[in-house]
Amino acid sequence: MLKFDFTTYMDSFIDKNMYNELLEKKEEIYQKFITNNMADWFTKKVDDDVLSKVKVAATKIKETSDVLLVIAIGGSFMGGFAISEIFNNKYKKKDTEVIYIGNSLSSIEMEELLDYLENKQISVNVISKSGTTFEIKTTYNLIKDYMLNKYSLDKVKNRIYITTNNNDGYLKEEADKYGFEKFIIPDGVGGRFCISTPAHLLPMSVNNIDIDKFLSGYYEGKEYFKQAYAYSVIRNVMFRKGKYTENFSVYEPKLYYYTEYIKQGFAESEGKDGKGILPISTINSRDLHSLGQFLQDGNKIVFETVIKADMGTNEKLKEYNNTICDSVITAHYQGNVPNMIIDIGIPTEKVIGEVTMFFMMAAVCSAYLFEVNPFDQPGVENYKDIMRQKINS
Ligand code: PA5
C-alpha cells in the first residue's frame, strides 16, 4: 500500500484558498480524462490473448538467446527499462541479458556493442508506436543487416519481433514484408502511457518480471486517483508561488531510472505552451554532495517529492539511510524547500504497478490543471522537422 504525506511540510507553503478552489475541479478533470480517446491505458485492460502471446514470445526468446536487443526511445523505452532496473541485480549475470539501444546514434557505442555480441545468440525487439522515429529506424536497419549477416533469413524471422501501431509506418511494412512476429500498441494509448502494452510487457517479461503481478497493481493503482489529483493540485499551487522546479529525490540507486521515467511523464505531458514545472531528480546520498548545496541554499524555485522505499535486509544500513533521508527533509524544509513524501514500502512488482498508475494519473491531472493537452508532445516534433530537412538536403 502506498503512503502519502503531503501535509507535514505543506502548511506554510500552500495558499489554502487556491488549493481548495482547484480541488473542486476534480470531477470535471476526471471526466475530461476518461472520455479522452487517448485514455485506453486507464479505461481498458490488456487482453488475455495479448498477454499469452507476450509470455510465449518471452519464453522463446529466453530459450534461444543470450541477448535480447530492445531498440526503442522515449515512451517506448523508458518505463520497462526503469522498472527492470529496480529488480535487476547488477552483479548477477542473467541467462538472457536485455540490452536497450536506439537512444542515441553513437558510433562508438554501436561498435562496442557489436563487438560484445560476437559469439552470442541474439533476438531483437524493435519498438516504435509511429514506426517512423529516425533513431529507431536507423538502429533497426543496422541491426537487421547485422542479423542477416549472422543468421539465415529463416532464422532471422524467428528472432526479430516488431512492436508498433496496427495501421501504418515503416516498421509495420517491415513486419509484413518479412513475416516478423508483430505486437500492437493500441491507437488509444500514447508513447509514455504504454507501460501496460507489449511495448514494455515483452522486455519486462524477458527480464523475469512477473507481469501479471505488475498489471494487478497497475489496475488497482486507479484507487489512488484522489491522492494523484491532490498531488497535482499541490504541484500547481507550488508553481503559482514561484516553485518552478520539482526535484524527485530517492535514496535507493535502483530507483534512479524510475525517477527518469517520472520526469519524462511530467515533462512531455505538461511542458507545453510556455507552461509546466521543470522536473529534475537526485539520488542520495550522492547528490547531497553536489545539487544538495543548491537545494538547501540556492535559488528558492524548487520543491521536492521524496520517494521512500524499503529495499534490502541490512537493518542498520536501512536505519542510517532513513535517518539521512529524514534529516534532509527537515533541513530542506528549514531552507524553504517544501517536501512531499510518497512511501512505497517494499517495491514488489504489484507496488511498482500501483505507483506507476499513480504517477501516470498525476501527470494527466497536472497537465489538465495547466490547461494543456496531456497526450501530445508537439515540442518533440520541432527538432525532427529541422533534422529531416537537413538529412534530405
Ligand atoms: O511519449 C511519447 O509519445 C514519446 O516519448 C514517444 O514515445 C517517443 O517520441 C518515441 O516515439 P515512437 O514510439 O513513435 O518511436
- Domain of 77, CATH number, reads 3.40.50.10490
Give Rg (Cα) of the chain.
22
Same domain flag for 235 and 364? yes
Q: Is residue 381's pLDDT more than 90? A: no
Instruction: Report whether residue 169 contacts ligand 1, using a CB cutoff of 6 Å.
Output: no
Same domain flag for 62 and 130? yes
Amino acid of residue 250: V
**Of 184, 209, 234, the domain-final residue:** 209
Same domain flag for 170 and 28? no
- Residue 24: inside a domain, yes or no? yes
pTM of the model: 0.97
Same domain flag for 221 and 367? yes
- Ligand 1 center to 116 CA (angstroms): 28
Same domain flag for 284 and 136? no
- Residue 83: inside a domain, yes or no? yes
Same domain flag for 176 and 48? yes
Using an 8 Å Cβ cutoff, are 256 and 281 in contact? yes
Using an 8 Å Cβ cutoff, are 377 and 268 in contact? yes
* Unique residue bearing C-alpha cell 517479461: 205
Same domain flag for 68 and 13? no
- Ligand 1 center to 132 CA (angstroms): 10
Predicted confidence (pLDDT) per residue in 246-298, tens digit = 999 999 999 999 999 999 999 999 999 999 999 999 999 999 999 999 999 99
Using an 8 Å Cβ cutoff, are 194 and 330 in contact? no
- Residue 389: inside a domain, yes or no? no
Residue 16's pLDDT band (boundaries 50, 70, 90)? confident
Bridge-based pairing state of the strands 339-343 and 3-5: antiparallel
Amino acid of residue 102: G
Instruction: Report whether residue 268 contacts ligand 1, using a CB cutoff of 6 Å.
Output: yes
Among 38, 71, 76, say which to mutate for ligand 1: greatest number of ligand atoms within 8 Å of CB: 76
- Residue 168: inside a domain, yes or no? yes
**Nearest residue CA, atom 10 of ligand 1?**
74
Same domain flag for 283 and 178? no
Question: What is the C-alpha to C-alpha distance for residues 86 and 147, in angstroms, rounded to an integer?
Answer: 30
**Nearest residue CA, atom 13 of ligand 1?**
128
Question: What is the C-alpha to C-alpha distance for residues 307 and 25, in angstroms, rounded to an integer?
Answer: 26
Predicted confidence (pLDDT) per residue in 199-220, tens digit = 999 999 999 999 999 999 999 9
Residue 15's pLDDT band (boundaries 50, 70, 90)? confident
Half-sphere exposure of 146 (CA within 13 A, CB side): 23
**Of 209, 230, 250, the domain-final residue:** 209
Angle among Cα 261, 262, 264 to the nearest 5 degrees reads 65
Q: Identify the CA nearest to 358 among candidates 210, 212, 185, 232.
A: 232
- Ligand 1 center to 153 CA (angstroms): 29
How much of the chain, in percent, has pLDDT values that exceed 90? 92
Edge-to-edge strand list for the sheet holding 122-127: 97-101, 67-71, 122-127, 160-164, 181-184
pLDDT at 2: 97
How much of the chain, in percent, has pLDDT values that exceed 70? 99
Q: Residue 183: which H helix or E strand, with range? A: strand 181-184
Active site residue 289: yes
Return the HEC string of 48-103. Answer: HHHHHHHHHHHHHHHHHCCEEEEECCHHHCHHHHHHHHHHCCCCCCCCCEEEEECC
Predicted confidence (pLDDT) per residue in 75-122, tens digit = 999 999 999 999 999 999 999 999 999 999 999 999 999 999 999 999
Choice among 15-19, 144-148, 305-309 with the minimum mean pLDDT? 15-19
Active site residue 268: yes
- Residue 385: inside a domain, yes or no? no
- Residue 390: inside a domain, yes or no? no
pLDDT at 159: 98
- Residue 388: inside a domain, yes or no? no
Q: Is residue 9's pLDDT more than 60? A: no
Among 70, 167, 373, 380, say which to mutate for ligand 1: greatest number of ligand atoms within 8 Å of CB: 380
Q: Identify the CA nearest to 81 among candidates 268, 260, 312, 278.
A: 260
Domain count for the chain, please give it.
Answer: 2
The domain of 253 spans 3-35+217-378
Instruction: Report whether residue 144 contacts ligand 1, using a CB cutoff of 6 Å.
Output: no
**Of 163, 182, 209, the domain-final residue:** 209
Using an 8 Å Cβ cutoff, are 181 and 57 in contact? yes
Same domain flag for 22 and 59? no
Burial class, 285, CB count within 10 angstroms (exposed 0-12 / middle 13-18 / buried 19+): middle
Instruction: Report whether residue 190 contacts ligand 1, using a CB cutoff of 6 Å.
Output: yes
Same domain flag for 114 and 194? yes
Q: Identify the CA nearest to 364 among candidates 355, 354, 353, 373.
A: 373
Same domain flag for 362 and 249? yes
Residue 8's pLDDT band (boundaries 50, 70, 90)? low
- Residue 342: inside a domain, yes or no? yes
For the segment 223-227, the average pLDDT, to the nearest whole number, is: 98
- Ligand 1 center to 194 CA (angstroms): 10
Using an 8 Å Cβ cutoff, are 163 and 185 in contact? yes
Same domain flag for 267 and 294? yes
Using an 8 Å Cβ cutoff, are 189 and 95 in contact? no
DSSP per position, 110-173 = HHHHHHHHTT--EEEEEE-SSS--HHHHHHHHHHHHHHHHHS-HHHHHTTEEEEE-SS-SHHHH
- Ligand 1 center to 74 CA (angstroms): 5
Backbone angles phi, psi at 182, to 5 degrees: -120, 140
Q: Is residue 138's pLDDT more than 60? A: yes
Across the chain, mean pLDDT equals 96
Predicted confidence (pLDDT) per residue in 316-350, tens digit = 999 999 999 999 999 999 999 999 999 999 999 99
**Nearest residue CA, atom 12 of ligand 1?**
128
